[in-house]
Chain A
Amino acid sequence: MRPFKYSKTSEASKAVSIVSGSPKAQFLAGGTNILDLMKEDVERPDQLVDITRLQINQVTTLASVGGKAGVKLGALGKNTEAANHPLVRQQFPVLSQAILAGASAQIRNMATNGGNLNQRTRCPYFYEVSMPCNKREPGSGCSALKGINRMHAIFGWSENCVAVHPSDMCVALAALDAKVEVQGAKGKRSIDFKDYHRLPGDQPEKDNTLEHGELITAIDLPGNSFNKSYYLKIRDRASYAFALVSVAALLETNGSTIRRASIALGGVAHKPWRAYEAEKFLAGKSATAENFRQAAELEMKQAKTLAHNEFKIELGVRAIVQALNQALES
């Protein structure tokens, strides 16, 4: 690992000012991803600012919108705490499920809510510094495009990058229309979740729309009227593996009629992929297996597969159908 200066602060503004003023400085929260990447020489910060003692780790109630109270997750709360907080388990069980589907208990005890959003892809070519990778070294090329790309994207990729976002938590946050609260040198702002992560385009080195030195302070979950939900994760092992395909499914039902659906997919794109086509199709329809299947097929029709991941289309269809069925039973 390359040498770096270690410092810590208990003031968010100070952390932001140090990192903003130093192009190679980075925040250190749970460390589960950045330390691994530093050992691999993928990340090369010259300074780490330890922010784990900032007092932004609580789960609190958010002012209600239209009678439904939301929840605010402090950015430095641990994934385990978020998944097990009574407010989250009662009101947003799909988020608990998604968090608990990711990583291992040890990692969830370390990883923070904000850090989860900023984890980097697990594309093996991104990790292997002897191989070209546009995300790691812009302009060097994408080794996965014509390489082993079984785990890679089927939506929204470009010739420059076919990597997928690895998070489970973010798939649920996408379906829940969360908001990301950030603080930067120029002040605070709130980013809609759909705009937080990016598609690779010609700048795959940018995973998200944060500016250097901007710090996530909280993730807001607005109140909603979904009464059914499920998070389904399909992976090579039964546990402790990244998703081949995952689905966060939310339904607002009235009897057997679907008023509204919100569906997001993981393991298929550079960002959590909202299944807008499927959602549109399901609105106002009956909650039947046939309608679920049609909605899923409609969504997956837009997929563009690579040499080794064609299986993700049928897998995606079946995963969406199963997630909707399980949501219905919840």
Chain B
Amino acid sequence: MREETIDPELTADERRLLEDLLHDENDDFSAAGLQRRNFLKQVMAAGGGVLALQLAGENNLLAQAVPASPSAVPPGTINTVKLSLKVNGVVRSLTLDSRMTLLDALREKLALTGAKKGCDHGQCGACTVLVDGQRVLSCLTLAAGCEAKSVTTIEGLAKSGKLHPVQASFLKNDGFQCGYCTPGQICSAVALLKEAKNGEASYVTKDLRTKGPVQLSPEEIRERMSGNICRCGAYPNIVAAIREVHEGKDAAQAWSFVEQTNHSS
């Protein structure tokens, strides 16, 4: 099947590379980025050929320009701060300007572009990451203050090529449209589920004196997710996705067809 789709005029190298690409496209969502990067590396190594040139262009578009060394002092740095922190389980050393936010450090220094810059003022939640297990806004966190802390971004949620249950549930329930707010939504939801398990209350929790895990109603989920704005309005599906993971069973469909109307009148 695959043989038939490959152009017979390709060189042996090109054919092998294209096979890798097709394999890559069919592969697990979470591993795709990594594999594509491997593929592009291979293309560069193959050197030459029209396909390779096209893909080199794609390389510029798709692959992130990883800074040569995040610990080198970048030009223009005024008040230099050096720190080490753990990002998705790996200790990283950074040298940066005291003004740099955690969001910018993740995106610009460590090429982790999952966390998004939406408003950059703490109003949208697109930059939500977990710091020491707590959901926070990376756009209002100074990187300099994160010495020795442990940061988890959307890139760190999948384990061994397997999506985090919240990621899988967002896919299953269509918990997004454009996807821009999704990394923040998912990080926020992962923390929310833990908070509810720990018995943390929200403004809509009826009795604050009751202890123990909180059962998450749609109302509770909406209140607890209110710091994450979705401009596409995927809220019903986001709530369903979170509810499904929380309850461990399929959530009821969040929409329904309107009843048949009489068009003759």
- Interface status of B120 (Cβ within 8 A of chain A): yes
Q: Whose C-beta in chain A lies nearest to the C-beta of B184?
A: A106
In the bound complex, how far is the Cα of B137 from the Cα of A32, in angstroms?
A: 9
A176: Cβ under 8 A from any B Cβ = no
CA distance A5 to B78 in the complex (A): 9
Q: How many residues of A contact B (CB 8 A)?
A: 39
Q: How far does the Cβ of B55 sit from chain A's closest Cβ, in whole Å? A: 39
A239, CB-defined interface residue at 8 Å:
yes
Residues from chain A with a CB closer than 8 A to the CB of B78 are 3
Q: Are B227 and A103 in contact (CB under 8 A)?
A: yes
CA A28 – CA B143 in complex, angstroms? Answer: 13
Residues on B with beta carbons closer than 8 Å to the beta carbon of A1: 99
| Contact A35:B101 (CB < 8 A) given known A4-B79, A104-B227 | yes
Q: Considering only CB atoms, which chain B residue lies closest to A83 in the complex? A: B201
Please give the distance in Å from A278's CB to the nearest CB on chain B.
24
- Chain B nearest CB from A131 CB (Å) reads 18
Contact indicator B201/A36 (Cβ below 8 Å) = no
- Residues of chain B within 8 A (CB-CB) of A100 are 201-203, 205
Report which of B98, B142, B205, B227 forms a contact with A5, defined as CB distance below 8 A.
B98
Contacts of B203 in A (CB 8 A): 97, 100-101, 233, 239
How many Å lie between the Cα of A308 and that of B63 in the bound state? 52
Interchain residue pairs with CB less than 8 A apart (23): A3-B79, A3-B97, A3-B99, A4-B98, A28-B142, A31-B142, A32-B137, A36-B121, A39-B121, A50-B145, A80-B134, A80-B200, A84-B200, A84-B201, A89-B209, A96-B201, A100-B202, A103-B227, A104-B227, A105-B202, A106-B128, A238-B223, A239-B226
Given contacts A6-B144, A31-B141, A104-B226, 13 further A-B contacts (CB under 8 A): A4-B99, A5-B98, A84-B199, A86-B211, A90-B209, A93-B209, A96-B201, A96-B208, A104-B125, A105-B188, A105-B224, A105-B227, A106-B137
Residues of A within 8 A of B (CB): 1, 3-6, 8, 28, 31-32, 35-36, 39-40, 48, 50, 52, 80, 83-84, 86, 89-90, 93, 96-97, 100-101, 103-107, 109-110, 233, 237-240
